[in-house]
Amino acid sequence: MDKVFKIEDLRPIRDEMTISRNSWLSDKTPITYFSLGKGTSISQDSYDNTTVYIVAKGCADFLIGAYAAKHTISEGDMLVVPSKTLCGVTTETGCIYTEIIIKKENNNMNKIIKSGEVMKLKDLISYEDGSITNIDVVSNDTMKFVLMAFDEGTGLTPHRAPGNAIIFALEGKAVIEYEGKDYTISAGENFRFDKNGLHSVTADERFKMGLLLVLE
């Protein structure tokens, strides 16, 4: 089975329906794919934990707080909602997004990340000539979400990660070698690898990605 995929193919938009699907990445950190049809909504509720939303396709309005302040979020955007904060979603066009509930509150959150603000993930990190750059967005002892930017021709040598992981390709194109097979990944696509799976990343051109690593 090809490891490159789009979340929209796993959970396509269905008219008049809201659908959720467990990613099965983690037992400790709930990571769920959501698909909202045109004109649908999810009423406000709150979690006791910080929650991260990353949009894969379409556009939606997230309604935050007691006064339902509207935050419009679209493909490639991220929104961080603090614990115990009301959050609802409504969409006129349809939307697919990933919800990450960070159960532990002793998180190391990067200072560039502002709760309740919509951020374009690829704009949070810059390229450096001949180099690979990375920024830890949020981490604790059960998970890590990191952004990486690869200059053209740079790459990571084959290595194994200590947990299941998913890559969000944000810009450009790269080749992922996974367990001896090459996979080309482009902006808007995803790649999943299992704990201890041998993998490397080589940038065909300048390439940015997000990496969600589950540590269990």
- One DSSP character per residue, 138-196 reads EE-SSEEEEEEEE-TT-EEEEEE-SS-EEEEEEESEEEEEETTEEEEEETT-EEEE-TT
Query: Closest Cα to residue 44, out of 85, 14, 3?
Result: 85
Superfamily of domain 121-214: Jelly Rolls (2.60.120.10)
pLDDT score at 185: 97
pLDDT score at 1: 46
User: Which residues have C-beta within 8 Å of that of residue 19, sequence separation ≥ 6?
Assistant: 11, 34, 35
> Per-residue confidence of the chain (216 residues) as pLDDT tens digits?
458 999 988 888 898 999 999 999 988 899 999 999 999 999 999 999 999 999 999 999 999 999 999 999 999 999 999 999 999 999 999 999 999 999 866 688 899 999 899 999 999 999 999 999 999 999 988 899 999 999 999 999 999 989 999 999 999 999 999 999 999 999 999 999 999 999 999 999 999 999 999 987
Distance CA 102, CA 129 (A): 34
Domain with CATH 2.60.120.10 in the chain: 4-120, 121-214
Sheet holding 198-203, edge to edge: 155-160, 198-203, 173-178, 181-186
pLDDT score at 51: 95
The CATH number assigned to the domain with range 4-120 reads 2.60.120.10
Q: What is the pTM of this model?
A: 0.93
The secondary element (H helix, E strand) that includes residue 71 is strand 69-74
Structure tokens at 80: 């961080």
Query: Closest Cα to residue 52, out of 143, 172, 163?
Result: 143
State in Å, rounded, how far the first CA of the chain is from the last one: 25
pLDDT score at 105: 65
pLDDT score at 148: 98
The secondary element (H helix, E strand) that includes residue 19 is strand 18-22
CA 95 remoteness from chain centre: 14
pLDDT score at 65: 95
Given a contact cutoff of 8 angstroms between Cβ atoms, the answer to whether 89 and 61 are in contact is yes
